Structure 1
Amino acid sequence: MQERPGPLDDVPLHVVGLGPGVLAGFTSRAGGTSVGPWRGLDLGLQVGDDPDAVTAHRRALEHRVGVRVVFATQVHGARVVRVPQEVVDGTRADGLVTRSADVAVAVYVADCAPVLLADPVARVVAAAHAGRQGLVAGVLQATVDAMVRDGADPARVAAAIGPCIAGTSYEVPAAMRDEVAAVVPEAACLTPAGTPAVDLAAGVRAVLLRCGLAPSAVHVDGRDTYRDAALYSHRRAVHDGIGATGRFAGVVRLLDTPGVASG
């Protein structure tokens, strides 16, 4: 029997600065109790892991950020919902927006890009799940639009693009690359071997800039999930013949006191 990691402590969170009064960051595999192919802090309830372990991990994340963390059922689409008004158990969406300091919004990933956004002045934050399909479907535009409807100004919005599979690791058929490039040209790239590939982070950044965000306000984490064993990667698990793997998350919340720096 494989030995379980130690008991849950404070969840390690790679914090990113999205402005005063906002706490945002990304988890990794560190700090969890899952075993087997999910080993670490798995936050995915639908990937075959022990649901009790995943639930405990989600509760530990809530303890870390100080409020209830809301996830939706992600479907690689462009639907965005307001939290908590439009979320119930099983809500299917890939973008979450809130003006409440009583909840955090989060997305879970294992190669797709977790994108966190905040307008600290309007007190609006959002999380978006942007994989290849969501990028083409317009999930980022829909998320920024939803923030604007709640008072955000794109010129004030800061964004963090979390760890995701790098273009150098994301080889795809030429037709699939071209399908993405027809909508987001900046996402088209080549692997070191010269084969067609998709650069999610570059595509996400380009779309956010077209939505009106300032270049200096878009932070790119840069870690490649496929190459970094500290992160979950679906493609790496498949290539290794394992198949199953866990999910890490991007999470963002408004702090109770506006103007307090994140940390």
Structure 2
Amino acid sequence: MRRAPDTGQVSVRIRRVTTTRAGGVSKPPFDTFNLGDHVGDDPKAVAANRARLAAAVGLGADRVVWMNQVHGDRVTVVDRPLGAVIDDTDALVTRTARLALAVVTADCVPVLLADARAGVAAAIHAGRVGAANGVVTRAVEAMKELGAQPGDISALLGPAVSGSNYEVPAAMADQVEAALPGSRTTTAAGTPGLDLRAGIACQLKGLGITSIDVDPRCTVADRSLFSHRRGAPTGRLASLVWME
């Protein structure tokens, strides 16, 4: 588990955490710290891993909100601990302190946003389809409705497949580039590719968000991380954001 630097100490403290494969109880091919409950892993192992994560970050298990992600653009605002996973959602937004928003990934981009001055945070699952369809923009709009200001929002784009390793057909690269400018690239093999983090960073800047950090790790290249493209079936990393 890797804890990102704390930011935003004007009104609240913002915490952001991303996990690795290590430290859990799941057995191969989900070894060991799988946080995804939809990949075929033993549900008891996933529950134990999620409880371990909540304890490690100093929160109760009921204060971590999870999504059933569907590569869509739906945003859900949460204001209290929930007893169930939120269905059909790819972004969570809250104004509630010590309520962690979780996104699970294994190549897609986890986007963690927060406005420390307004006290608003968001966690977004931005895969190729969702990112191109505007899930990040919709999450920012939801944050603004709760009082966030783009100039005060800081962003962390977590571990994801890099442009060097994300090969796609040329037509797909062109299609995504049209919807998410800045994402088309060339892979290490010289073929058409996508760098979703680059495209999302451009999108955030266009929305007035300039405080953007990018975790440089590539899920395909870094074997301490889960990667669906490198080897499915596999587990899922978790990225969390919350306010204190």
TM-score (norm 1): 0.87
Query: Are residue 50 (structure 1) and residue 42 (structure 2) matched?
Result: yes
> Residue 70 of structure 2 corresponds to which residue in structure 1?
75
CA contact (8 A) 2:101 2:242 kept: yes
Structure 1, residues 62-111: CA drift from partner, whole Å, max 9, x if none? Answer: 11223311011101111100113697544211110011114110100000
- Give the match's secondary structure for 1:66: coil
> Residue 142 of structure 2 corresponds to which residue in structure 1?
146
- Give the match's secondary structure for 1:74: coil
Structure 2 unaligned regions, length at least 5: none
Which of 244, 247, 250 matches 2:239?
250
CA contact (8 A) 2:161 2:218 kept: yes
Q: Cα RMSD (Å) of the superposition?
A: 1.4
- Give the match's secondary structure for 1:126: strand
Which of 53, 60, 64 matches 1:61?
53
- Give the match's secondary structure for 1:160: strand
- Which AA in structure 1 matches 2:153? V
Query: Are residue 176 (structure 1) and residue 172 (structure 2) matched?
Result: yes
Structure 1, residues 194-217: CA drift from partner, whole Å, max 9, x if none? Answer: 210000110111111111101xx1
CA distance in 1 between partners of 2:177 and 2:158 (Å): 21
> Residue 234 of structure 1 corresponds to which residue in structure 2?
228
> Residue 131 of structure 1 corresponds to which residue in structure 2?
127
Structure 1 residues 172 and 156 mapped into 2: Cα distance closer, same or farther (>3 Å)? same
Structure 1, residues 99-144: CA drift from partner, whole Å, max 9, x if none? Answer: 1114110100000000101100100011001111011110100011
Shift of 1:23: 1.0
CA contact (8 A) 1:33 1:53 kept: yes
- Give the match's secondary structure for 1:225: coil
Structure 1 unaligned regions, length at least 5: 1-11, 238-242, 256-263
Shift of 1:16: 3.5
Structure 1, residues 5-30: CA drift from partner, whole Å, max 9, x if none? Answer: xxxxxxx3332333221111111112
> Residue 111 of structure 1 corresponds to which residue in structure 2?
107
Structure 1 residues 209 and 127 mapped into 2: Cα distance closer, same or farther (>3 Å)? same
Which of 192, 197, 203 matches 1:207?
203
TM-score (norm 2): 0.93
CA distance in 2 between partners of 1:86 and 1:140 (Å): 23
CA contact (8 A) 1:18 1:160 kept: no
CA contact (8 A) 2:225 2:237 kept: yes
CA distance in 1 between partners of 2:22 and 2:80 (Å): 32
Q: Which runs of 4+ in 1 moved over 4 A?
A: 85-88
CA distance in 2 between partners of 1:40 and 1:204 (Å): 30
- Which AA in structure 2 matches 1:195? T
CA contact (8 A) 1:18 1:117 kept: no
Give aligned-pair identity as a percent: 46
Residues matched between the structures, number = 237
Which of 1, 25, 34 matches 2:26?
34
Query: Are residue 165 (structure 1) and residue 157 (structure 2) matched?
Result: no
